[in-house]
Structure 1
């Protein structure tokens, strides 16, 4: 059940990014710069694309698995990203 929920949540977040051009204005969570990973949205202060987290979740991996693979990203960044993405998604459909 948890995998189905995380997959559904991941699809909604991805849809919000791709279809609705969800942007994190003045975000300390996400950084977008042409000088870092060619402008790919990354976790601030890292070169880790946000899409990598979404790919992990889509594959049914845990946040801990992601953090083990990308130690430059903090748990706080991941949680803040998911909370902000969820809040933005809710406000878009409300």
Structure 2
């Protein structure tokens, strides 16, 4: 399952200075985790970034910060 989830996150030195991003976007995992840490809801994230699917956000939380 972890391998499948990681397929949705990519790093590329030419995109956002090599920070992990949602594949095909410039949206960093770091930004999403910060928003969650400050109380943003899943629904709020999906409204702000409608191109995301629910499983995208869960990928970041599960793989990069399991305590969120």
* TM-score interval (norm. to shorter): 0.7 to 0.9
RMSD: 2.4
TM-score (norm 1): 0.56
Residue in 2 that maps onto 1:57: 36
User: Whose helix fraction is larger, Structure 1's or Structure 2's?
Assistant: 1
**Which aligned runs of 4 or more in structure 1 are off by greater than 3 angstroms?**
none
> Unaligned 5+ residue runs, structure 2?
none
TM-score (norm 2): 0.72
> Unaligned 5+ residue runs, structure 1?
1-23, 90-94
Q: Does 1:47 align with 2:22?
A: no
The CA deviation string for residues 26-69 of structure 1, in whole angstroms up to 9 with x for no partner, is 82121100111121111112110111111111111101111211
